[in-house]
Amino acid sequence: MAIVVIAETPGVTAADDEAIQQRLNLAAQPPAGALARLAGPIDGGWRVLSVWESPEAWETFRRERLEPALQQAGRPTPSFQVWPVHTMRMAPQAR
């Protein structure tokens, strides 16, 4: 079952998010089971929505890559909300 994870971190900026993405090497080594990532500013911080193939894929990424990278960077761990996905539709790619 696919899930959506919503992460919110007070005080984080676009530059902070870029730095963590680079530290995680997401472009070259996308996490197994990750389907989509959307990120942007909220009042006083940063929000990331990610879609995962399964709760297990998310938990593996969180435990093995995300939390260690945040700790090494001295960044706080975001608050996470997880909910199951019933329906997901993606727009067809423009040609």
Based on the number of CB atoms within 10 Å of its own CB, is 60 exposed (0-12), middle (13-18) or buried (19 or more)?
A: middle
Q: Which two tokens stand for residue 73?
A: 């960077």
Range of the domain at 42: 3-84
* Entry pTM: 0.88
Residue 89: inside a domain: no
Report the number of distinct structural domains present in the chain.
1
* pLDDT at residue number 4: 98
User: Is 23 a member of any domain?
Assistant: yes
Does residue 71 lie within any of the structural domains?
yes
Is 80:33 a contact under the CB 8 Å cutoff?
A: no
For residue 91, tell me if it sits in a domain.
no
Please tell me the chain's helix, strand, coil percentages from 3-state DSSP, rounded to the nearest 5.
30, 35, 35
Quick: pLDDT tens for 22-63: 999 999 999 999 999 999 999 999 999 999 999 999 999 999
How does DSSP classify residue 65? I
Which tokens is 7 given?
Answer: 């992460």
Q: What is the CATH number of the domain that holds 67?
A: 3.30.70.100
